[in-house]
Amino acid sequence: MNNVTFEPLRWQEDPVRITVFHDTEYRRAYYQVTAPRDPEGICRGRPVEELPRILTLLSPSHHLVSAMVLDKLFGVDPPPMALNMREALLQAQFFSHHLRKLYFLLSSWHDPFSDYGRHGSRKELKMFPLHFLDEIMHHQALSQEAATILGGRPNHPLCAVTGGVSRFLKEEYYQRLSEIAQFCLKFAIRLGGFFRDEIFGDGKALEGFDAYQIEPMVGLTSAEKSGHVVLNDPVGKTNDPFSPDMLFKKIGLHQASWTCEPFAHIKGASENTTEKTPGESGNMFYAEFPGSNPQFFFVGPLARLNSQDTLLSPLAEEERQRLIEVLGPFPHFGVVAAYWALLVELLQSAEKMTELYVTEKLTGPAIRTIPSEMGQVGHAVLESPQGLIYHHYRTDQKGIVEEVEVLGTGSANNVLRCLLTQKAVDISQARGETWKETQNRIEISLLPF
C-alpha cells in the first residue's frame, strides 16, 4: 500500500499528519490530529472560577467564552464597562489572529528567513519587498500590545472573570489604545489594497486555487443580538435559532480511530439523498460516519459572511462588496473566498477597535458584579476569530467542576479540513503536480479555515 506522509503540517494549531494512499484508482487522503487536547480531563476537579485561566490553553478567545459561562453559572450580569473591555479584547484578538494568517500566506511566497532556501518559496514571484512582512509583524505587535493592555498577556489573557473584568485600566493606557486603533486601521486599509492588487481578484497569486472548494455546507454561527446559535443552510432553508444550552442536542461528536480530534456533525440524517459515487471527493470519508446520510457544518469567517447580509462597519462592507463583484454573491465555500473573508473581518475588527478604544467606552464605576449565589450549570457561545466556540460546565455545590463540554474549532472544522484535504490532493495530483507542491496546496487551502 503506497502512501505519502506529510508530518507535521504547517500552520496548524494541533500537531497534524496528512496520509495519502495513492496506488488505487482513487486517492484517499487523511487529515490526522496526532495528539489529544483533553480539556475535560484537565478541568474536572478544578474550582470553576479558575477555568478561564486554564481553558485559555485552547485559544485566547476561550478565555472570554469561559467567563461568559461563569456569568451564567453565577447568575450575574457584567457591568457595561466590563462588557466593552471584553469586546475590546476580542477585537484585538480578531485583528491579531487574522493578520497572522495573512502573514503566513505571504510568507509562503516570500520567506521571511530568506537567508535559507525552503520549499514552497517561489523566489521568482517577488511581489513585495521583504520589509513589508516586517511591517505586518510590527502591526501584529501593536495589536498584541492592545491585547496585553486589556488582558494582561497577549496569548493567554487574564482579565475576564466572573461577572466582569479583573481591573480598571490605567489612565495612560486610554491614549495608547486609541493610537493603536488608528495605526491598525490605517494598516488594514493599506493591506487591503495590496491584497486586492496582488492576491485576490485580478491578482495572479491565488489563481491556481479557484477550484479548491468544498461542496456547500451548513454554517454554524451566532446571531449577534440574541446570543443564540443558528445553523445556516446554504440551500436556502431557514433554520430557527436555538439557545446555547441546546447545542449538544443538535450537534454530535463522532470519534474516528485514526485521528484524536472528534468530528462535530449535525445530528440526524441529511435531507439531501443524492447518491455519492465512489471517487467523488470525500466519499470515503462519509463512510466513517454512523447512519446513512451524515450532515456536516463548518464555522469561521467564511461561515459568518455566508450568514450575514450587510455589515455594519463601512470599510468592511465595501470590501465585502468587492468580494461579491469578483467572486459572485454569497454563499462561498472556496479557499480564495476564505482568505478574502479574513481581510473583510480584519477591516471590521480594526473599525470596531477605533469605535471601542475610547475613554468613554472603557471607563465606568464598576468592573464586575459580585455574585450572591452559585448555580451549577452554565453554557455560552462566542464567535472567536477562528469560528464559533461553545463551553458548558456543570459543578457540584462547592463550585468544583464535575463536567466540562467544549466545542472548539478543532472539532467543528475537522470535517471541513478532511474534505478540503481530499479535494486538494485530488486536484493537485490530477494536474500532475509533485507531492511537494501538493503539500503546499494542502497547507494553503487549510490555512484560512
Helix (H) or strand (E) holding 341: helix 335-356
CB within 8 Å of 247: residues ≥ 6 apart: 229, 379, 381, 390, 392, 407
If one asks whether residue 364 binds other proteins (CB under 8 A), the answer comes out as no
Contact 86, 356 (CB under 8 A): no
57 vs 324, which CB is nearer to other proteins? 57
If one asks whether residue 408 binds other proteins (CB under 8 A), the answer comes out as no
Least gap, CB of 234 to other proteins (angstroms):
30
Least gap, CB of 120 to other proteins (angstroms):
6
Task: Tell me the C-alpha to C-alpha distance, in Å, between residue 174 and each of 225, 354, 426.
Answer: 27, 12, 52
46 vs 423, which CB is nearer to other proteins? 46
Q: What is the DSSP string of 254-289?
A: E--TT-SSPEEEESS--S--PPPPTTSTTHHHHTTS
Residues within window 143-202 making contact with other proteins, judged by CB under 8 A: 144, 151-156, 158-159, 161-163, 166-168
151 vs 331, which CB is nearer to other proteins? 151
User: Which region, judged by CB under 8 A, interacts with other proteins, from 192-200, 316-324, 331-339, 397-405?
Assistant: 397-405
Contact 100, 136 (CB under 8 A): no
306 vs 411, which CB is nearer to other proteins? 411
If one asks whether residue 122 binds other proteins (CB under 8 A), the answer comes out as no
If one asks whether residue 414 binds other proteins (CB under 8 A), the answer comes out as no
Between CA 213 and CA 336 the distance in angstroms is 9
Conformation bin of residue 30: beta by default, left when phi > 0, alpha when psi is -120 to 50: beta
Between CA 5 and CA 69 the distance in angstroms is 40
User: Which region, judged by CB under 8 A, interacts with other proteins, from 12-20, 78-86, 355-363, 419-427?
Assistant: 12-20
What backbone phi and psi angles, to 5 degrees, belong to 365? -75, -30
Between CA 215 and CA 231 the distance in angstroms is 16
140 vs 232, which CB is nearer to other proteins? 140
User: Which region, judged by CB under 8 A, interacts with other proteins, from 274-282, 291-299, 313-321, 435-443?
Assistant: 435-443
- For residue 74, the one-letter residue type is F
If one asks whether residue 325 binds other proteins (CB under 8 A), the answer comes out as no
What backbone phi and psi angles, to 5 degrees, belong to 400? -95, 135
- For residue 321, the one-letter residue type is Q
3 vs 175, which CB is nearer to other proteins? 3
331 vs 399, which CB is nearer to other proteins? 399
Residues within window 24-53 making contact with other proteins, judged by CB under 8 A: 28, 30, 32, 34-38, 40-42, 44-47, 49-50, 53
Residues within window 227-266 making contact with other proteins, judged by CB under 8 A: 255, 257-262
Between CA 421 and CA 29 the distance in angstroms is 7
Helix (H) or strand (E) holding 41: helix 39-43
- For residue 240, the one-letter residue type is D
User: Which region, judged by CB under 8 A, interacts with other proteins, from 132-140, 191-199, 269-277, 295-303?
Assistant: 132-140
Strand locations in 237-386 (E): 251-254, 263-266, 297-298, 377-384
If one asks whether residue 127 binds other proteins (CB under 8 A), the answer comes out as no
198 vs 261, which CB is nearer to other proteins? 261
If one asks whether residue 434 binds other proteins (CB under 8 A), the answer comes out as no
User: Which region, judged by CB under 8 A, interacts with other proteins, from 15-23, 82-90, 237-245, 289-297?
Assistant: 15-23
305 vs 420, which CB is nearer to other proteins? 420
If one asks whether residue 365 binds other proteins (CB under 8 A), the answer comes out as no
47 vs 193, which CB is nearer to other proteins? 47
- With cell 453565577, the residue in question is 74
DSSP character at residue 34: -
Count of residues that interact with other proteins, criterion CB under 8 A: 89
Residues within window 82-121 making contact with other proteins, judged by CB under 8 A: 100, 104, 107, 111-116, 118-120
